[in-house]
Amino acid sequence: MGKYKKIFLDGVIFSNPTFVLVLGTCPTLGLISSAMSAMSMGLCIIVILTLSNILISAMRKLIPNEVRIPCYIVLIATLVTLLRMILEKFLPDIYSALGGFLALIVVNCIILGRAEAFANKHTVPEAAMDGLANGIGFTLALTCMGIVCEILGSGSLFGAHLWDFSIALFSQPAGSFIIFGLSIALFTKVMDSVTSASRAKRQAEEARRSFEARRGKTAKEA
């Protein structure tokens, strides 16, 4: 169970595809001006990433190493086409809102990256967990930045009007880029602080144990 917990935490926090690996930047910059589009794209990525990881992991012994990338692309493109069909049929508003970015999921670095780095080396449940975790990490990152961009750029949240004040720059990719950069800086700062605190706590614990061991030894000698 600890293995799955580690995979999940890595995907969502420690190796977050957006803030740490800086993958999938194209849809990030294109869609975070609206929280709803950002979240919709994130949910699509969760579905595609989980399914592609499962398929690729299941077929890892069948696919020869020499043609693995074309095979991955075909499998991912099939899943994306299927998702497009389903969205167009049942959720036309989301289909329209995502526009060309939906088709671009085929060449999304996160999906191909996780297939190459993880899915083709691990079992199906592990690959599924990795896909789910990375998808959730990507969705959370996009939604958080989308909320900030939409509030600043349009004065609204998930389409609901909040106030009249807005800065048009933040509804453009240039503004999204600024928010993206600041978010990475903030995330890195928080992670550094957490890591430092955790390291300091561990060192203090080791020092305490060492001190107690030495004291015990001295007492025994006495």
Partner 1 sequence: MSAKSFFKSTAFKCIVVLVGIVLVCSVFLTICNALFYVSDEERLDRALADLYSGESVTTELAPGADSLGDGLEVGRSVIVTARVVTSDNHAGDWLVQSKGLDGYQNGTVTCWVVVNTDGTSVTGVGAVSINSNEGQSYIGRITQEFLNGFSENFTGEPYPDGMLSSGASYSSAAIRNSVNGALEYVKTSLQGNGEAQNG
Q: How far is the CB of 41 from partner 1 (least distance, A)?
A: 10
> How many chain residues interact with partner 1 (CB under 8 A)?
32
Q: Which one of 6, 9, 14, 81 is in contact with partner 1 (CB under 8 A)?
A: 81
Mapped onto helix, strand or coil, the DSSP state of residue 180 is helix
Q: Any contact of residue 25 with partner 1 (CB under 8 A)?
A: no
Quote the Cα angle for 16-18-20, to 5°.
55
Contact assessment for residue 37 and residue 123, using Cβ atoms and an 8 Å cutoff = no
Q: Which one of 7, 46, 101, 183 is in contact with partner 1 (CB under 8 A)?
A: 101
Q: Any contact of residue 43 with partner 1 (CB under 8 A)?
A: no
State the residue for tokens 């949240």: 157
Stretch touching partner 1 by CB under 8 A, among 10-18, 56-64, 105-113, 212-220: 56-64
Mapped onto helix, strand or coil, the DSSP state of residue 183 is helix
Handedness of CA 22, 31, 135, 7 (dihedral sign): positive
Cβ proximity to partner 1, 70 vs 125, nearer residue:
70
Closest-CA residue to 98 (of 48, 151, 164, 166): 48
Q: Any contact of residue 69 with partner 1 (CB under 8 A)?
A: no
Residues 128-157 that bind partner 1 (CB under 8 A): none
Contact assessment for residue 115 and residue 72, using Cβ atoms and an 8 Å cutoff = yes
Cβ proximity to partner 1, 90 vs 218, nearer residue:
90
Q: Any contact of residue 20 with partner 1 (CB under 8 A)?
A: no
Q: Which one of 70, 125, 181, 216 is in contact with partner 1 (CB under 8 A)?
A: 70
Residues 158-197 that bind partner 1 (CB under 8 A): 168, 171-172
Q: Which one of 30, 42, 137, 146 is in contact with partner 1 (CB under 8 A)?
A: 30
Burial of 68 (0-12, 13-18, 19+ CB in 10 A): middle
CA atoms within a 13 Å half-sphere pointing along the CA-CB vector of 73: 6
Contact assessment for residue 175 and residue 29, using Cβ atoms and an 8 Å cutoff = no
User: Can you give the binding site for partner 1, defined by CB under 8 A?
Assistant: 30-31, 33-34, 37, 62-64, 66-67, 70-71, 74-75, 77-78, 81-82, 85-86, 88-89, 92, 96-101, 168, 171-172
